[in-house]
Amino acid sequence: MTAARRFAVIGDPVSHSLSPVMHNGWFKDYGLNAEYEALLLRSDDPVAAIRALKGYAGVNVTVPHKEAAAKAADRSAAEVANVLRWEADGTLSAYNTDGAGFIAALDEAAPHWRGHVKHALIVGAGGAALGIAQALSSDVARVTFINRTQSKAEALAETLPGADAAAWSDLARAFSEADLIVQCTTLGMTGQATHGWPVEACKPDAIISDIVYRPLKTDLLRAAKARGLTTMDGLGMLIHQGALAFELWFGIRPDAARARERLIQALNA
């Protein structure tokens, strides 16, 4: 029997990652001789450390190694990469499926969003906020960043045509103007601070998305649901970025619904 093809998610920290549950589940679904692990990568030279992972057929990359992953590759489709694939000739290709994963999740949770969403509000100014804003920018006329540290929101807005920044003190007004709100900070995460989100200010047809998935029902999503708004939880993006990675490795678009069942089980365990 040939050896199993090896896959991993690399990051620091990484032990909390749900990617092994998701990908090993799909390997079973499709009868693939492959195994997937969480691999802590801590190095003074992450680019060299990533290039040395030649025993793997592919890896997912999480914080803080996404830039190093793009640099380590012989060819990269993006400046920050979350997927790597080693080719038959030993060279390394890098991709970013985060943005397309978010859009696929939005298509699933709010199929009417295209055309409806003219103005998106991105809460936060980290890597996730930028990736999602970039993915939305081709379909949405206006993107506003709002962040506790306003200078970071302004810096991101400058990188994106049609984007602007709002002050944290104007959160309620910003919520009232948006057709889509994407919560991209650590607020509401288990063990982190929560926030009194001004959901009562939202338009009645606003779509509310939170990228936090621990807990799955964040305070923001609970409040939005209670108001009858369309919501999208944090598993959607996780699953669809993973499904796109799986497709890059195996040429198969895997079953998102089965992954969701397994991940909910893992989150409740």
Q: Which residues are annotated as catalytic?
A: 66
Q: For helices 98-109 and 235-250, what crossing angle results, to 10°?
A: 120
Convert residues 47-86 into a mask of x (bound to ligand ATR by CB under 6 A) and - (unbound): ----------------x-----------------------
Contacts of 157 (CB under 8 A, 6+ apart): 143, 144, 145, 163, 164, 165
Among residues 80, 125, 132, 165, the one that binds ligand ATR under rule CB under 6 A? 125
No. of H helices and E strands in the chain? Answer: 11, 12
Q: Work out how close the CB of 177 gets to ligand ATR at its nearest, in angstroms, rounded to a whole number.
A: 20
Nearer to ligand ATR, 34 or 208 (CB): 208
Q: Work out how close the CB of 104 gets to ligand ATR at its nearest, in angstroms, rounded to a whole number.
A: 19
Nearer to ligand ATR, 57 or 189 (CB): 189
Q: Work out how close the CB of 87 gets to ligand ATR at its nearest, in angstroms, rounded to a whole number.
A: 29
Among residues 51, 116, 142, 148, the one that binds ligand ATR under rule CB under 6 A? 148
Q: Work out how close the CB of 42 gets to ligand ATR at its nearest, in angstroms, rounded to a whole number.
A: 17
Secondary structure of residue 88 in the 3-state scheme: coil
DSSP assignment of 30-60 equals: TT--EEEEEEE---S-HHHHHHT-TT-SEEE
- 16 counts as binding ligand ATR under rule CB under 6 A: no
Q: Work out how close the CB of 73 gets to ligand ATR at its nearest, in angstroms, rounded to a whole number.
A: 20
The window from 8-16, 43-51, 100-108, 121-129 that contacts ligand ATR (CB under 6 A) reads 121-129
Q: Work out how close the CB of 244 gets to ligand ATR at its nearest, in angstroms, rounded to a whole number.
A: 19
Amino acid identity, position 259: A
User: What is the Cα–Cα distance from 59 to 61, expressed in whole angstroms?
Assistant: 6
C-alpha distance from residue 183 to each of 114, 171, 218 (Å): 19, 12, 10
Q: For helices 19-29 and 256-268, what crossing angle results, to 10°?
A: 130
- 6 counts as binding ligand ATR under rule CB under 6 A: no
Among residues 35, 71, 109, 127, the one that binds ligand ATR under rule CB under 6 A? 127
Please give the residues from 176 up to 205 whose contact with ligand ATR meets the rule CB under 6 A.
Answer: 184-187, 193
Which helix H or strand E contains 136, and what residues bound it? helix 127-137
The window from 93-101, 119-127, 220-228, 234-242 that contacts ligand ATR (CB under 6 A) reads 119-127
- 159 counts as binding ligand ATR under rule CB under 6 A: no
Contacts of 40 (CB under 8 A, 6+ apart): 10, 11, 12, 13, 14, 15
Q: Which residue is nearest to ligand ATR (CB)?
A: 126
Residues making up the chain, counted from first to last: 269
Binding site for ligand ATR (CB under 6 A): 63, 124-129, 147-149, 152, 184-187, 193
